[in-house]
Structure 1
Amino acid sequence: MISYAPDAPDRADVRTLLEEHLADMFATSPAESVHALDVGALAGPAISFWTAREDGTLLGCGAIKDLGAGGAEIKSMRTARDARGRGVAGGLLGRLLAEARERGFGRVSLETGSQDYFAAARRLYLRHGFTVCPPFAHYSADPNSVFMTLELSEG
């Protein structure tokens, strides 16, 4: 059974997954369009970091960043290669959204890539009710980015 729980981004297996994530982001997008956080940033006080595990094996990770004013951002969603196609990302996203609701956030937003590589991620977010939106927080318009948001107060 897959379990979802708060975790530390500096654990060895998580660090490896996050390094893979960053490498893929830089291989797919121009450096100025990569907004993935490194391990140090994910350990920050405004971040709630979660992992998905099965029998102790890391399957995926994701985080919620408090943006202030009732808003949060999904960061560093990643599923381990061997765990893809098993619903890990959907389960983890569901858990992150539940956490956001529990913490009283009214809106959750995210940035993902516009390239074909990110098509599955965009479909996942759309299935969970996210809609495309203008840039938010510190972001600015970028042809390599798609911005999405979900109003939690609406469901």
Structure 2
Amino acid sequence: MPVVSLRFELDDLTRPEVIRLLEEHLEDMYAVSPAESVHALDLEALRVPEIAFWSAWEGTELVGCGALKSLAEGDVELKSMRTSTHARGRGIATALLRHLIEQARAAGGRRILLETGSEDFHAPARRLYAGNGFTERPPFGSYALDPNSVFFELSL
């Protein structure tokens, strides 16, 4: 079923359905990657001033989320990108990613950086990023070279 209409909300991370989606995200990350290679943020780590978090809704149903973390010199890091399991394969992740790119651009960002996993579980995410103009790059910030991680960037 194609995406009909999505509503993106700057979210305060208090709604139970948003909290549950983030809990599922962390559970999946720890299930497929060694703990030292998991860079997903928990709820409290997302509740900081330098992170803006959006939820994506189709009617009253939460279908995804994503965050942008402000870094130095106009860089922005994409964090916590997630589509709900039942809504996958319908273009929601693409719409959400494009919304986040627009938000970063509107805020004056110069590029978006991200880390994702190298495991097969993360293959759809890597295809999504590459298909939207992101290119692979070396680790950035406090990230270290890790065989379980792939790093991307998109110039804005």
Which residue of 37, 58, 80 maps to 1:33? Answer: 37
TM-score for both structures, normalised by structure 1: 0.96
| 1:100 counterpart letter in structure 2 | A
Seq. identity, %: 55
Structure 1: 5+ residue stretches without partners: none
Task: Report how many residues are paired.
Answer: 152
Does 2:122 align with 1:118? yes
The alignment yields a C-alpha RMSD, in angstroms, of 0.7
Q: In the alignment, what sits opposite 1:129? A: 133
Which residue of 106, 110, 117 maps to 2:110? Answer: 106
Q: In the alignment, what sits opposite 1:150? A: 154
Does 2:75 align with 1:71? yes
| 1:48 counterpart letter in structure 2 | A
Q: In the alignment, what sits opposite 2:28? A: 24
Q: In the alignment, what sits opposite 1:13? A: 17
Structure 2: 5+ residue stretches without partners: none
| 1:94 counterpart letter in structure 2 | R
Does 2:60 align with 1:56? yes
Q: Counterpart of 1:86 in 2: which secondary structure?
A: coil
Q: In the alignment, what sits opposite 1:80? A: 84
| 1:25 counterpart letter in structure 2 | M
Mapped to 2, the partners of 1:140 and 1:6 lie a distance apart of: 30
Mapped to 2, the partners of 1:149 and 1:54 lie a distance apart of: 28
| 1:97 counterpart letter in structure 2 | I
TM-score for both structures, normalised by structure 2: 0.95
Q: In the alignment, what sits opposite 2:51? A: 47
Contact 1:51 1:58 in 2 (8 A): yes
How far did residue 62 of structure 1 move?
A: 0.2
| 2:28 counterpart letter in structure 1 | D
Q: Counterpart of 2:150 in 1: which secondary structure?
A: strand
User: After TM superposition, where is structure 1 displaced by more than 2 Å over at least 4 residues in a row?
Assistant: none
How far did residue 5 of structure 1 move?
A: 2.0
Q: Counterpart of 2:86 in 1: which secondary structure?
A: helix
